[in-house]
Amino acid sequence: MDAPKNEYVLAGSLDDLKAKGRLVVHGSHRPILVIYDRGRVLALDNRCPHMGFPLERGSIEDGILTCHWHHARFDLESGCTFDLWADDVPICPVEVRNGEVWVETAFGHVDPAAHWHQRLADGLAHDIGLVIAKAVHGQLASDVPVAEIVRQVALFGAQNRDGWGVGLTILTALANLLPILPEEETYLALFHGARRVATDCDGEAPRRGRAPLGSRTDPAALKRWLQRWTNVRHREAAERTLLTAIAEGLSPGALADALLGAETERAFADTGHSLDFINKAFE
Ligand code: FES
């Protein structure tokens, strides 16, 4: 469905389109709306990207198409929306040949996986459920491995919030279930995990990068230091110590030992969730 095809169909005569202002033709998968606007001939998906109602019922003013149903507004030429909650409308090529209007009947993307990767990034950045839902569906339909989708969302969550959020715990828990879920529920699990991560990050300051220490320090000292900084709630010192342990090549087991040792010093701090946060982070 996402593979572009170069089939054109006759939409009608240019004179007829000028007289009526808009025509609807059958596309390969869905109807296409062809519009004449101030000397331009444009074609776009007739289904509103918000909830699928027909855009042919919309109004056009000054190059802006307004959907009749919930009034999302779109740039006629590009299909891009002014109202991010509604998503962009796919457009398709249109040609005028000897007074006849021809439109390409298939919508598609040259690289569907890359397109839906970017759309997931957009949906996460703006916390828009509709865009996240479409992007997850698009990636699955493009045969992107589920692990890649989880990875994209987890990295977003780690980079766009200065601390672990419950959305990352939910994402990890759902990701653990993916191997036993049927196809439809795989989609739902990925969507709900991604949506919770996006909501956690919405309005939060992004994580600022910190660097490991410049010295080569032995694992026992790093573990002690991590406990020390955790006890006195010195977050930056604890993070630099942990980054140094990672840079020193400590095994995941040794890192987990250091973190869990520090955590048990303050087991009930921060509502007591740090233990399951550490657990899920290592998963
Ligand atoms: S269906 Fe078009 S704005 Fe809702």
Q: What pLDDT was estimated at residue 30? A: 84
| Ligand 1 centroid distance, CA of 263 (Å) | 49
Please report the atom of ligand 1 found closest to the CA of residue 86: 3
* Closest C-alpha residue for ligand 1 atom 3: 70
- How far away, in angstroms, is 55 Cα from ligand 1 center? 8
3-state secondary structure of 26: strand
* SS3 state at 60: strand
Task: Enter the tokens of residue 144.
Answer: 């992107």
Residue 87 CA to ligand 1 center (angstroms) comes to: 10
Residue 144 has pLDDT above 60, yes or no: yes
Provide the pLDDT for residue 271.
Answer: 63
Element (H, E) at 243: helix 235-247
| Residue from 70, 73, 85 whose mutation best tests the ligand 1 pocket (most atoms within 8 A of CB) | 70
Among 51, 128, 134, the mutation site with the greatest number of ligand 1 atoms within 8 A of its Cβ is 51
**Residue among 154, 155, 158, 156 nearest 175 (CA):** 154
Mean pLDDT of 24-51: 92
d(CA 149, ligand 1 centre) in Å: 28
Atom of ligand 1 nearest to the CA of 55: 2
The pocket around ligand 1, CB under 6 angstroms, is made up of 48, 50-51, 53, 67, 69-70, 72, 86
Average pLDDT over residues 239-264: 92
Q: What HEC string does 122-170 produce?
A: HHHHHCCHHHHHHHHHHHHHCCCCHHHHHHHHHHHHHHCCCCCCHHHHH
Cα dihedral sign for 23, 26, 30, 32?
Answer: negative
Q: Bridge partners of 43?
A: 34
Q: What is the pLDDT of residue 6?
A: 67
pLDDT of residue 105: 83
Triad 133, 134, 140: Cα angle to 5°? 95
pLDDT tier at 106 (50, 70, 90 boundaries)? confident
**pLDDT band at residue 266, thresholds of 50, 70 and 90?**
confident
User: What residues does 26 pair with on adjacent strands?
Assistant: 31
Q: Nearest residue CA, atom 4 of ligand 1? A: 70
| Mean predicted confidence (pLDDT) in 35-64 | 96
Q: What is the number of the ligand 1 atom nearest to the C-alpha of 48?
A: 2
